[in-house]
Amino acid sequence: MIAEIIPAGTEAPLRFLLIEDNPTDVELLEYELRRSGFEFTLAVVQTPEEFTRELRTTPPHLVMADYNLPSWRGMEALEIIAREGQDIPLILVTGALADTTAVDCIKEGATDYVLKGTLARLPVAIRRAFQEKNLREQRKRAEENLARSKRALEKSREDQLRFKDDLLSHVSHELRTPLTAIKQFSTILLDGSAGELNHDQHKYQQIVLKNILQLQAMIDDLLEVTRLDNGKLTFKPESVSVPAILTDAIDTVYVSAHAKGITLSCDPSPGVPAACADPTRLRQILLILIDNALRFTPSGGAIRIRARPSEEDFKFVLFEVSDTGCGINSEDLDRVFERLYQVRPDQSSREGLGLGLFICQGLVTRHGGQIWVESELNKGSTFSFTLPVFSVNNLIAPLEAALKSQTL
Amino acid sequence: MTNGKILIVEDDADISLGYKVFLQVRYEVFFAVDVPSAVSEALRLQPDLIILDLGLPGEDGFVALERFQENPILSGLPVIVVSGRDPAANKNRSLEKGAKAFIRKPWNNAELLTTIDQFIGRGERVAAGGASLDP
């Protein structure tokens, strides 16, 4: 019975420390405790100094204190216990005590109070004090374990993320070596360095090269996503002329659009301000959006690229890439910016890893802009994004944001 | 009559052959497969330009760049790093260590040729002005 309630990890005899100036009361209390079957030693002190010394030399399992002492009050013992950094239950054992005072004492941290007239209740109070202390310690241990598990879990998650990043960047690098050889020899065959190819051979070799370039783009995307994820994306905003960058993007895709019979038009509004962007990244965003539009637009369709000051916020330039393609159904519409999400047009095989729009979104966000899509089935889609208008403040802001996100 | 000598430091035999077939019509091409052979071949051949891979057996291409810089005969040689490694992490480091350009593998033939021509022209001018280097 007693073994169940003694403080965890302690062995009998229990050490009791009593603050009491009346020898008769000490005797009565000791008698009552022996009668209840406790195995214990009892130290008795009268002054705060004695109490403190006893706490330091032989810390007790339990303190009992008279409420009214000649030079101090029993409740002050609680402050001393706390100051000494100890967690020891304290029971007030006192003559008369008003109910309100008793309640105050409990509020201040006393475990219980027992009137000297009903000392028979003391053993019960002691057992309960120990039970409470054991529960408190159990809870503390459980909380510590929980915090430890949480830390271990976080660390394992970080390790996993780092492993994933390392793996992706390693793989995308290692894949390049064989790809380089394949691409080089495909190019050599195509340019006739190894002898003229007949018409069919040339055509097939072009298919080989086209697929190599696609594979290369996928490997690039893999690495790009790793960079976006771990915040290592290189990003140097500067003042970018919007009409110039749109023209450049159109020039890049002109041949493939023309081959597919798709009209391209570029329409920067007059006086559109310079954007605050990394020109390589802005070009990349536009090309991903235009490439997507080309994939989903049938022959005879049109792609229109527009740019103008944002009507909602004049501090942003609004870019739009609209197509007259198949459109996106509402289910897909919510998910197109997700990583690895792919919408496959009819009769089309895989064209990428499903990372393009995810990368786009990451790039636009890093610039401090927003990206969204509106679409109507069988009519077409419009991808819109905003980028800050160039100003010295905007030049600094994304850098500050990037620094902040790195320190988080 | 070729336009100059190029030393290619590349440990992958297939890629080396790819360089050779593509470049030999314009230049004299030579090969090294690691840092020690790169340094000894560069000293022996005195090429007009070096194409350098970063991932080499033993010491990597950055060590080769250091060896070239340390050597008064080689320090003026234009080096183009052609590597599959991430430019974000390796381009600036290559340029800081003396490379003239960084091209990502798989390279684009037209881009590589333009870059080579740009530096080989410059290399010839340096060689003409640096006659004191000749024994």
Query: Residues 6 or more apart from A78 whose CB is under 8 A from it?
Result: A90, A108, A109, A110
Choose, out of B11, B12, B14, the residue to mutate when testing the contact with A (most A CBs < 10 Å): B14
Which one-letter DSSP state was computed for residue A318? E
Using pLDDT thresholds of 50, 70 and 90, give the confidence band for residue A120. confident
Rounded to an integer, what distance in angstroms lies between the CA atom of residue A291 and that of residue A285? 10
State the pTM of this model: 0.59
Rounded to an integer, what distance in angstroms lies between the CA atom of residue B120 and that of residue A332? 53
Rounded to an integer, what distance in angstroms lies between the CA atom of residue B78 and that of residue B55? 19
Neighboring chain A residues of B85 at a CB cutoff of 8 Å: 173
CA distance readout (Å), A326 to A338, A376, A398, B84: 20, 8, 36, 38
Nearest CA in chain A to B108: A184
CB contact under 8 A, B106 and A169: no
* Cα A221 to the center of its chain, rounded Å: 24
Please indicate if any CB of chain A lies within 8 Å of the CB of B84.
yes
Cα–Cα–Cα angle for A362, A256, A267, nearest 5°?
A: 65
CB contact under 8 A, A194 and B21: yes
Higher pLDDT, residue A232 or B4: B4
Q: Which of A54, A38, A35 is nearest to A46 (CA)?
A: A54
Q: Over range A377-402, report the average pLDDT.
A: 79
Put simply, the chain A residues between 167 and 196 with a CB less than 8 A from any chain B CB are 169, 173-174, 176-177, 179-185, 187-188, 191, 193-194
Q: What are phi and psi of A236, to 5 degrees?
A: -125, 95
Per 3-state DSSP, chain A is made up of helix, strand and coil in percentages (nearest 5) of 55, 15, 30
Measured between CB atoms, which of B18, B55, B84 is closest to A184? B18
* A–B CB contacts, 8 A cutoff, strictly below: 55
CB contact under 8 A, B109 and A234: no
Contact A249, A264 (CB under 8 A): no
Kindly report, residue by residue over B80-128, the tens digit of the pLDDT. 999 988 887 899 999 999 999 999 999 999 999 999 999 886 444 444 3
Query: Residues 6 or more apart from A396 whose CB is under 8 A from it?
Result: none
Please indicate if any CB of chain A lies within 8 Å of the CB of B12.
yes
CB contact under 8 A, A188 and B22: yes
Kindly report, residue by residue over A215-224, the tens digit of the pLDDT. 888 888 888 8
